[in-house]
Structure 1
Amino acid sequence: MPAGPSIEDIMPVIRLQSAYLVVDDMAESRAFYEDILGLKLKFADAARWTQYDCGGASFALGDRSEGPEEARGATIVFEVQDLEAMTTRLRDAGTALGPLRDMGAHGRVLTVADPAGNLFQLFERATPAKAG
């Protein structure tokens, strides 16, 4: 059991924030998901990130710079309220962590490996006090 904050002391995972695929050709991938599958665009950040609204859930496409370097297939992103507390808890448990990435007005994201080596990310939405 981790020596840091207990799960009762911090806000645990709030919800599944999104799932995204790392793609090599954003234009080709967008054409497939928009023109063939009919997904409706919610947000696009040039050729780096494209996000779709899927009935309350979010699905996105990210270029290689957006995802964990080792990622293949989908990346699951869980939203948390206190990324620092959760990072401490994971570190205290001996969990493998990637670098913390500050995305400015969007928020911050941390890549985590579960015990089986599956990668996922924890996302904390930016607040005016935390926006970089």
Structure 2
Amino acid sequence: MAKVDLQTVYIVAKDTGRLDAFYTQVLGMPVQFRDGNKWTQFREQRSAFALSCAEEAAPGAVGAVPVFQVAGDAADELHQKITSAGGELLARRDMGSHGVVATYKDPEENIFQIFSKAPAR
């Protein structure tokens, strides 16, 4: 059987410039490349996340939930950045020894999550 790897997760943006600024400034995602206002690809180590205009997206594409991981001690600071930039906290779930996942909406109401792993004991 062929090995399958996840290449990219993307969300369809109404205003790619606005969301590009949100994810670049708030999450500090490094931009791998931009294709005008059609596509912005972010690259972080082995994973990729992208913003797509409707014309570049798969026909009928709706929603995705990217999950970004941060160190536990960075979660509070990141929360402040997200909400100051127009993001909204929807839920926070403490999973004990596994960590905490917070669910947010970006300025266009796309859902994303921030996972912070629990400290090693």
- The TM-score with structure 1 as length reference comes to 0.45
Bigger-Rg structure (1/2):
1
Higher helix fraction (1 or 2)? 2
